[in-house]
Chains A and B, each alone.
Chain A
Amino acid sequence: NAGVTQTPKFRVLKTGQSMTLLCAQDMNHEYMYWYRQDPGMGLRLIHYSVGEGTTAKGEVPDGYNVSRLKKQNFLLGLESAAPSQTSVYFCASRQANSPLHFGNGTRLTVT
């Protein structure tokens, strides 16, 4: 049982490049979330999904897009990366009334 798996673990991008972060969960969870973690700011919610085919904006959605075409996957896209998007990105999933399960994180550097 892998839980929540994030790929890649590390990535370096140049300003303006695009990339997609993949989050996969094998627990049949309905809800999935993308957070970014920055020093002194804790974790901030980027986007979330309450079920297959649904997405919604979180606290800091600008510059990101997401898709939930399959229940087990939640993709986070950066169309044109900016240095301000340098961060550690965490995916999480949960079932109703249950705690969040986090992935190991993706460390992204935008130069």
Chain B
Amino acid sequence: AQRVTQPEKLLSVFKGAPVELKCNYSYSGSPELFWYVQYSRQRLQLLLRHISRESIKGFTADLNKGETSFHLKKPFAQEEDSAMYYCALSPDSWGKLQFGAGTQVVVTP
């Protein structure tokens, strides 16, 4: 069965510092990987998907199939990056996303 692991429940960083959110997955095939973000009192929204290979709000994520990881990175954190971040895996075309437990990011000035 597929599994998504986000080892950090809380990540506290200073404004301007780099931030990296770890995500590891287990799946025997070739999944689609996503990062979703939930700002305070807002709905979840897509931040990144690995097949698009684009940078959103300064965030990037690289799929490492050898290490089965999809870590999210940003070189300079901003206060508006404070949010809950979820890594998710889709094993098939039906979009049944398997979510990790989430990482709460707090960026302090």
Residues of A near any B CB (own CB < 8 A): 4, 31, 33, 35, 40-45, 48, 50, 58-59, 90, 92, 94, 96-97, 99-100, 102-105
Contacts and interface: CB of A to CB of B under 8 A. Distances in A.
Interface of B: 4, 6, 9, 34, 36, 42-46, 49, 86, 93-102
B contact patch SS: loop
A103 B94 contact: no
A100 B93 CA distance: 12
Contact of B97 (A40, A41, A45, A97): A45
Contacts of B98: 45, 59
A99 B34 contact: yes
A43 B96 CA distance: 11
A97 B93 contact: yes
Contacts of B96: 33, 45, 48, 58
Given A42-B86, A42-B101, A100 B95 contact: yes
Contact of B99 (A44, A94, A97, A104): A44
Contacts of A103: 43
Ranked nearest first, the 4 interchain pairs of A and B with the lowest CB-CB distance are A42-B99, A43-B99, A99-B46, A102-B44
A41 B43 contact: no
A50 B9 contact: no
A32 to B, nearest CB: 10
Given A42-B100, A43-B86, A99-B34, A48 B94 contact: yes
Given A33-B96, A42-B6, A100-B46, 16 more contacts: A31-B94, A33-B95, A40-B9, A41-B101, A42-B4, A42-B86, A42-B102, A43-B86, A43-B97, A44-B99, A92-B44, A97-B93, A100-B95, A100-B97, A102-B45, A104-B42
